[in-house]
Structure 1
């Protein structure tokens, strides 16, 4: 029974009848003694409320109208105020700017269309695929645990150092190739055009990798007349009388991989868990030379993710399988697993920082930065060009590289800002190492004494700052001597004298997205543990917004 106060049924002399202020719902047993269902009770209550609204409505209409008129006459009228009008205008302007930034992130309707993922053509047969990202086993020269004995963060790991820029990053994925499918470990390299694996074709010079060599059938070898061989004369060359398409890749340090093009099935797992077999073209490397052989003891080859037409994302996009978008999230946990995705279903709709890709040589992903600051005090690291400096996102590199002048000035800034540390030239782990006046076991012991490195990009819409922030854990390395080393190297020594290169140490702990359809790069902080597929809007809403934006 309703416990609200019961309206009085009496009225004084000359008074008008009162309208009901509540409802009493009485539930009676049915003919067989049972109780009505909750559905019938709800239906009955709704019907009673409707009827209650109608009963007495005509009788009280005049009273309600008179009371409303008296109340309106007694209520003080607000005075017009210029301050109130100005405040309302500013609030509306702020809302308009926020909406514009959210929908038109780079100043045109195409950004809004991408942002909301509303392009219907991408929602046909296109889908996305997830791949795991594993950190490689750490090399010697680093303590196994932190100060509390817990597993140490990867920021304290010592990675092999050599003067090269071939794909030898610190994260790899596993892919299944062939029929039946066999697993192979591939270095994830955003700076390489080509996906290739060591193979027995037969092999002339191969490293002993983690898996048996891929052995192609005669039908897998691509002939010189194939469009892939004809379309990329700069990377590939016809095999002459052998009627095959050969390739010869040479890296910055002189290492090389030689082989033939092959076409075979690659098995990928879609976002709904289905396994799909897709035909791809890749390199079958039968002759590896130089330092590259040392890298291949941990992996079987490289996964090329550049914007080139022969890269894996572009091949799948040309087939209509995915949008030409991919991303990676490298975990900072040495025992954790990050992820790599192909397609655009795992891009967060909010919180991403987007910058345009600047077209450059070798199909690399680069943008432009205005300056580099040490900490929030805007202490600029000098030595960058007066013009905008190029920044390269390269998951195939381990460390971060600065132009020489900026590199030496960064060292000077760290010396000046770190009075409790002195340079220790006896530690050859990395070019610049410092010894503290207290015991150091992990980055956790010193990170509060250093400040973040901040790359500052051009403002969005002239008012919104865009930055790429690297905490001390992202650029400091702790050696087995307890020294603190700088994980930033002189890029001039590896051919990057005028660019900043962001390698794995600075990319981990962030979700990085490469959008080749819109020529944009984006990032956001992430623990890289749980990829979230973004929900899609209903068809009728997609259609309405599509008509609005396009």
Structure 2
């Protein structure tokens, strides 16, 4: 359709509007409108038969559009140079924004990808939800923090194994199966428990072979391992009996997951060795030495069925350091990192789940939470999403932070962009030295509000004594301000915020004092990264989407996943 000037005697076209109508058999495609201004008045506009309107077309009342001539007349009478100038300025503005705020543009890409996925695509695979429990006993400071495979000790010890008969897992937990069977799709609902203090850890329970084992959940560790009678050289008397490897199930050095585990080790990889040795060293210098083996993990699906999956994991026969204190109440570590050897990555590589995991840690000793593996039970709304950053050599979960503040005061005054790393293996949160020093200085104000420093309380470096009876952390909210991590852009309008309320960085000690659960991280990791530990993740659902490379969080009571209708049946730890 050619829009002409209303004067009949003036045959020169100043502008052209092209309206493309949808096919008659598919009107849902809509119509498109293109507008052009003409600057050459020496050539009359050409007309084509197809340019004339279709007299048989009658738009429905719901699709009527205003006459384009109403707005086009203003455009056609204006200066073409003005229009071109406005277009050029707009393009320059877009280019400038993309160059200055690349991370924000990346955020928009993440959200756009999420919106394009429909519910059918999200439910192609199953999801697993594992329990988190609590056990009595405190973890000594420093806590475990990040882990890394560092070496293989060629001791010449060959691991013994037996031909272990598998148990039929169908009757493992009748109470759980009855609840799980009421769900519509195959997602398992298993609980999580624990606390930051006095227990210092969160753990889940998994049936491996014919026995249950309590595993300390750790998003900063790659390898899942249990204490092993191989025979055991140095093991704590854990919550359950030592695991005995099955005959013929040891992983050989030539297998791909062995190569993956040993790729960063100082000792040269041995392709002809009968077994795959490993040594993991943690940040507190604790370590676990063992071999890789395979066995069936029996995982309950929420439709009542049981998945029996051969999983590669570690048989740890020599544990050293503070790790032994943790193993008095648990049996090993559940590695939940992005590495190929981690449990969720192994499940995702077989197409059993999408590589999405989440955890919801309870806030108190009697609380209950859960771990999600798979995307089915990730809430479709209410979660704040930010891009996941890549680490140079660790398969960890981290995001970018541009500003850190306590109340209205900045803790990162230099304005440098830093990183936040999520680590459930760390009981407490660690700030870089400068941010930590500014925080401690800011907290001096509470001394004039009815709280007094109690240096006799050695629970944590900074503890305050109150002049009133303490019943819960809510009694202290009026003395402390929230800590805000500004994620992504430095401009607050377009950035995302992770707000840590006072109960997200404080604990109550056995003496009844309130203690700061944020520590000096000068010697932790690289010294410049914020390590977000359990104390700051309590009462949140944290989701790590390895498919779309994003991290999300939302407040939650952690009783059950939002999209489920039944309470998670928790076991007694």
Q: Say whether residues 1:162 and 2:142 are aligned partners.
A: yes
d(CA) in 2 for partners of 1:253, 1:287: 16
Q: Say whether residues 1:134 and 2:150 are aligned partners.
A: no
Instruction: Report SS of the residue matched to 2:548.
Output: coil
Q: Say whether residues 1:320 and 2:351 are aligned partners.
A: yes
Q: Say whether residues 1:106 and 2:90 are aligned partners.
A: no
- Contact kept? 1:113, 1:119, Cα under 8 Å: no
Q: Say whether residues 1:488 and 2:468 are aligned partners.
A: no
d(CA) in 1 for partners of 2:430, 2:438: 13
Q: CA deviation at 1:252?
A: 1.6
Q: Where does residue 70 of structure 1 map in the other structure?
A: none
Of residues 318, 331, 335, the one that matches 1:304 is: 335
Of residues 430, 443, 448, the one that matches 1:414 is: 443
Over 3 Å counting, the alpha-carbon distance change for 1:459 and 1:240 in structure 2 is closer
Q: Say whether residues 1:523 and 2:522 are aligned partners.
A: no
Q: Where does residue 84 of structure 2 map in the other structure?
A: none
Q: Say whether residues 1:373 and 2:353 are aligned partners.
A: no
Over 3 Å counting, the alpha-carbon distance change for 1:273 and 1:337 in structure 2 is farther
Q: CA deviation at 1:496?
A: 4.4
d(CA) in 2 for partners of 1:115, 1:505: 32
Instruction: Report SS of the residue matched to 2:338.
Output: coil
Of residues 224, 227, 235, the one that matches 1:206 is: 235
- Contact kept? 1:203, 1:286, Cα under 8 Å: yes
- Contact kept? 1:177, 1:266, Cα under 8 Å: yes
Encode CA deviations 1:78-122: one digit per residue, 9 max, x unaligned.
xxxx9xxxxxxxxxxxxxxxxxxxxx99323x6445346527666
- Contact kept? 1:105, 1:112, Cα under 8 Å: no
Q: CA deviation at 1:318?
A: 0.6
Q: Say whether residues 1:190 and 2:219 are aligned partners.
A: yes
Over 3 Å counting, the alpha-carbon distance change for 1:169 and 1:305 in structure 2 is farther
Of residues 307, 313, 322, the one that matches 1:282 is: 313
Q: Where does residue 92 of structure 2 map in the other structure?
A: none
Q: Where does residue 497 of structure 1 map in the other structure?
A: 527
- Contact kept? 1:195, 1:282, Cα under 8 Å: yes
Q: Where does residue 511 of structure 1 map in the other structure?
A: 541
Of residues 276, 280, 284, the one that matches 1:245 is: 276
d(CA) in 1 for partners of 2:495, 2:374: 28
TM-score by length of structure 1 reads 0.69
Over 3 Å counting, the alpha-carbon distance change for 1:121 and 1:458 in structure 2 is closer
d(CA) in 1 for partners of 2:464, 2:446: 13
d(CA) in 2 for partners of 1:138, 1:202: 27
Encode CA deviations 1:392-441: one digit per residue, 9 max, x unaligned.
10011000111112112101101125412232222222111223344444
Q: CA deviation at 1:218?
A: 2.1
d(CA) in 2 for partners of 1:129, 1:411: 41
d(CA) in 2 for partners of 1:240, 1:332: 47
Q: CA deviation at 1:449?
A: 2.0
- Contact kept? 2:215, 2:333, Cα under 8 Å: yes
Instruction: Report SS of the residue matched to 1:221.
Output: coil
- Contact kept? 1:185, 1:210, Cα under 8 Å: yes
d(CA) in 2 for partners of 1:121, 1:188: 28
- Note the aligned Cα RMSD (angstroms): 2.6
Over 3 Å counting, the alpha-carbon distance change for 1:440 and 1:333 in structure 2 is closer
Q: Where does residue 224 of structure 1 map in the other structure?
A: 253
Q: Say whether residues 1:363 and 2:391 are aligned partners.
A: no
Q: Where does residue 443 of structure 1 map in the other structure?
A: 473
d(CA) in 2 for partners of 1:270, 1:252: 35
Q: CA deviation at 1:379?
A: 1.7
- Contact kept? 1:127, 1:271, Cα under 8 Å: no
d(CA) in 1 for partners of 2:231, 2:273: 14
How many aligned residue pairs are there? Answer: 407
Q: Say whether residues 1:468 and 2:448 are aligned partners.
A: no
Over 3 Å counting, the alpha-carbon distance change for 1:161 and 1:517 in structure 2 is same
- Contact kept? 1:418, 1:450, Cα under 8 Å: no
Which region of structure 1 is more displaced relative to structure 2, 257-266 or 454-463? 454-463
d(CA) in 2 for partners of 1:303, 1:202: 21
- Contact kept? 1:130, 1:342, Cα under 8 Å: yes
- Contact kept? 2:338, 2:396, Cα under 8 Å: yes
Over 3 Å counting, the alpha-carbon distance change for 1:249 and 1:219 in structure 2 is same
Q: CA deviation at 1:530?
A: 1.7
More helix by share: 1
Instruction: Report SS of the residue matched to 1:449.
Output: coil
Q: CA deviation at 1:356?
A: 0.8
d(CA) in 2 for partners of 1:270, 1:208: 31
TM-score by length of structure 2 reads 0.66
d(CA) in 2 for partners of 1:106, 1:372: 19
Over 3 Å counting, the alpha-carbon distance change for 1:405 and 1:490 in structure 2 is same
Unaligned runs of 5+ in 1: 1-81, 83-103, 140-158, 536-550
Q: Say whether residues 1:393 and 2:425 are aligned partners.
A: no
Instruction: Report SS of the residue matched to 1:216.
Output: coil
- Contact kept? 1:239, 1:246, Cα under 8 Å: no
